[in-house]
Amino acid sequence: MATVKTALVLAGGGSLGAVQVGMLQALVEDGIRFDLVVGASVGAINGAYFAARPNAQGIAELADFWRGLRKADVFPFSVIDTLTAILRRRGYLLRASALQHLVRRSLPVKLIEDTELPLYIVTTNLLSGAEELLSSGSAEQALLASAAIPLVFPPVRISNKLLIDGGVASNTPIASAISLGATRVVIVPTGFGCACPNPPIGLVALALHTLNLMSMRQLVRDIELYAPRASIHVVAPLCPLNASVFDFSQTDQLLKRAYQSTQTWIEEGGLIRTGVPDSLQAHTHTQI
């Protein structure tokens, strides 16, 4: 009998990264074991923490981190700094100093290779558009690169390459997991605000929203494309969901809902069933 190699794959999705933590809590409680972790954007940040501490205590600490997170901790808007960015044509709206401080304060390890589970952080080469998979070196710099939303944060130079948000090349890197030898892939998506009455207001919020929608559609295509090559199980996203990827005010609610819905998903055979969950397909709600 062939050996099963299980990969945990975490998608990006801004503030909806809180959903992933609730999902992970339920998966860990169920006793599922992973052989490697692959993450992009906010999924890389969650993935790095989980890979370092892949147990109930680690998930509890990650949940506490998310509960204390505010929009300003990630997106520190300043009128003066924004005007400076425009006047100097610097190519990005926000400095990454707040995000860097956040990552540095929260990460349990300094080097990617020091995590308990093998960790692969997805970034995008700004010049070629190719996916760049990082598995060694500074975890802080790799995560800053994977979360460097185009036009919002500056690119990060690593090994003489300019790297940006991993979601540009592959927000849910199923192909990477399979190329690393995974025969079973468990995807932890963020979902999207299917019940939001209106799109978010503001350049950064709208950019995040658009990137999130693109990534969820890409995920659906990739599940269908790579289904013949591995057993792919997608944890069902929350639905209906009235939180945008720029809304950090519903974190505790998202954690609890995701935990409960993932418990139900497991009980109903989610870790056996393959295919695209209905809640991941493009849809909206007229009422919530």
Higher pLDDT among residues 91 and 101, named by residue: 101
**Per the structure block, which two tokens stand in for 262?**
């993932």
Q: Tell me how far apart the terminal alpha carbons of the chain are, to the nearest angstrom.
A: 48
Give the position of tokens 């809180």.
Answer: 18
**The pLDDT of residue 288:** 44
pTM of this prediction exceeds 0.75: yes
Average pLDDT (235-252) is: 93
Average pLDDT (255-269) is: 97
For 43-88, write each residue's pLDDT tens digit. Answer: 999 999 999 999 999 999 999 999 998 888 887 766 566 666 666 6
Beta 184-188 vs 119-125: how paired, if at all? Answer: unpaired
Average pLDDT (150-161) is: 90
pLDDT greater than 90 at residue 207: no
**The pLDDT of residue 98:** 81
CB atoms < 10 A from the CB of 121, how many?
A: 31
**The pLDDT of residue 173:** 86
Distance (Å) of CA 207 to CA 90, 162, 204, 245, 275? 18, 20, 5, 10, 29
User: Is 163 in contact with 148 (CB distance < 8 Å)?
Assistant: yes
Considering only CA atoms, which of 187, 188, 215, 216 is closest in space to residue 281? 216
